[in-house]
Amino acid sequence: MTDTASKPGQTEVWITGIGLATSLGEGLDANWAALQEKRINVDEKGFAPYIVHPLMPVSFDSQIPKKGDQRQMEAWQRIGTYAAGLALDSAGIKGNKDILSKIDMVVAAGGGERDLNVDTGVLTAEAKGANAPGFLNERLMSDLRPTLFLAQLSNLLAGNIAIVHGLGGTSRTFMGEEVAGADAARIALARIASGESDIALVGGSHNGERKDLLVLYEFGDFNLKDKFAPVWARKDHAGFALGSAGAFLVLESRAHAEARGAKPFAKLSSVVADLARRKQPGDTAATLEKLWAKLPKREGKGAIITGATGAEPATSEERGFLKGHADFPVRSTGTMFGHTMETQFPLGIALAALSISRGALFPPNDSTGTEIEMQGAPTQIVVVGAGHWRGEGMALVEAVG
């Protein structure tokens, strides 16, 4: 029940769990080590000329013990259900029925992969002259796996997480590419800060190793081709390299965390988001500046972790915005993890919290000078996300005082 005695913003919200399964590895240590070593995992051949960041193989059995559950999911759901399990483990609430029965889930999701054989089978048969009125219907009725639909439905990522990990609170799925990840964190934070919720699982997952997605983004010429380069070095070779990743966070009111003795990685102080019209040059940069001004005052040792995609003109606009805040060392998750779409913003929050808890920002990986070294421990990290087409979000992650 809502406690209206506490005013919005009064309750401190902690990040008490992080789950990562990415192209760099699974778990916090493996990802942190890869970041320290500036190790990037790209596949330049499997989808050539397109470049993707493939998932580092994981043993799904450890988080999704029933093979039957695994079979009911496509890769994006398995990655997400796996990462969600890691987050619950990290927060120390895996299997804790009291907490899991009330946890609120806000998931940022796209959709599941298509059966490429069915699609090409229909199209080539039509190219060869199949033109009976019911041809498509008959092929779909006979060729589609009955449960494939459930592996494609956006809200079934949350559904699978609930089933596999026994979550029985509430469940909301936000769609809308990159900014869905920011909005998921924004709404979960608002609900906890206002007392509507005590604890929430927030995040997303993405399978970047999908030709149907490459087709979708190729419509807009957004895919990075031929040769990998860091996000900031793509100005004359624009585009994003899709990445596979699951990133989940456990957000919790300070009181709830303290009552169960949970330690925070960091606190999530603010999440803001907007929709620039992007009709005129400068619209995106102006919106990022507006969001920056909305965040609480930055007085500590700050840094920026951005999900800049490498797509233009959004990335150039963002570079302009970053130049105005050159005293903040910048790190790009797009360079290291690829573009994981709905997952990029939760991934940014996760890495911000991890950096704060480990007392160091991970090293730069950039030849253009946009990313500079940082000495000392960051106490405030701004997470930035400007969608490749629409949507802008920003979050402030801070050390717990």
Partner 1 sequence: MTAPRDKFGRPVVVVTGMGIMTSLGAGKADNWAKLVAGESGIRTITRFPVEGLKTTMAGTVDFVSVDPFSSTGLSERMAEIVTQEALEQAGIGAKADFPGPLFLAVAPVEVEWPQRRELGRAVGAQDFNYDDLLRISGGGKYSAYHHRFMFGSVAAHLAETFGTKGSPISLSTACASGATSIQLGVEAIRRGETDAALCVATDGTVNPEALVRFSLLSALSTQNDPPQAASRPFSKNRDGFVMAEGAGALVLESYEAATARGAKILGVIAGCGELTDSFHRTRSSPDGKPIIGCMNKTLADAGMTPDQIDHINAHGTATPENDKMEFNTTSAVFGELAQKIPVTSNKSMVGHTISAAGAVEAIFSLLTLEHQRIPPTINYETPDPTILFNVVGNTARDARVTAVMSNSFGFGGQNASLILTREPA
Q: Please list every residue from 269 through 298 that binds partner 1, using CB under 8 A.
A: 273-275, 277
Binding of partner 1 at residue 221 (CB under 8 A)? Answer: yes
Q: Please list every residue from 315 through 354 that binds partner 1, using CB under 8 A.
A: none
Choosing from 18, 88, 167, 192, the residue that interacts with partner 1 (CB under 8 A) is 167
Residue the block writes with tokens 């199949």: 130
What is the closest distance, in whole angstroms, from the C-beta atom of residue 296 to partner 1 in the complex?
A: 16
Neighbour-count burial for 387-399, b at 16+ CB within 10 Å, e otherwise: bbebbbbbbbbbb
Binding of partner 1 at residue 215 (CB under 8 A)? Answer: yes
Kindly report the number of other CB atoms within 10 A of residue 115's CB atom.
Answer: 17
Half-sphere exposure of 298 (CA within 13 A, CB side): 22
Three-class DSSP category at 17:
strand
Choosing from 45, 59, 98, 133, the residue that interacts with partner 1 (CB under 8 A) is 133
Binding of partner 1 at residue 175 (CB under 8 A)? Answer: yes
What is the closest distance, in whole angstroms, from the C-beta atom of residue 86 to partner 1 in the complex?
A: 18
Q: Please list every residue from 47 through 66 that binds partner 1, using CB under 8 A.
A: 50
In DSSP notation, 55-109 reads PPP--GGGT---HHHHHTS-HHHHHHHHHHHHHHHHHT-TT-HHHHTT-EEEEE-
Pair of tokens at residue 288? 């990022």
Torsion angle in degrees (nearest 10) through CA of 125, 129, 132, 134: 20
Binding of partner 1 at residue 191 (CB under 8 A)? Answer: yes
Binding of partner 1 at residue 219 (CB under 8 A)? Answer: yes
Q: Which is nearer to partner 1, 275 or 326 (CB)?
A: 275
Binding of partner 1 at residue 174 (CB under 8 A)? Answer: yes
CA-to-CA dists, residue 264 to 17, 252, 314, 398, angstroms? 8, 9, 34, 11
Binding of partner 1 at residue 105 (CB under 8 A)? Answer: yes
Q: Which is nearer to partner 1, 59 or 141 (CB)?
A: 141
Q: Which stretch binds partner 1 (CB under 8 A): 11-19, 169-177, 327-335, 359-367?
A: 169-177
Binding of partner 1 at residue 222 (CB under 8 A)? Answer: yes
Q: Which stretch binds partner 1 (CB under 8 A): 150-158, 319-327, 359-367, 368-376?
A: 150-158
Interatomic CA distance for residues 300 and 247, integer angstroms: 26
Q: Which is nearer to partner 1, 222 or 265 (CB)?
A: 222
Q: Name the residue type at position 164.
A: V
Q: Are 70 and 193 in contact (CB under 8 A)?
A: no
| Cα-trace Rg, the chain | 21
Binding of partner 1 at residue 226 (CB under 8 A)? Answer: no
Choosing from 26, 89, 183, 252, the residue that interacts with partner 1 (CB under 8 A) is 183
Q: Which is nearer to partner 1, 103 or 308 (CB)?
A: 103
Give the distance from CA 270 to its chain's centroid: 17
Q: Which stretch binds partner 1 (CB under 8 A): 79-87, 302-310, 326-334, 383-391?
A: 383-391
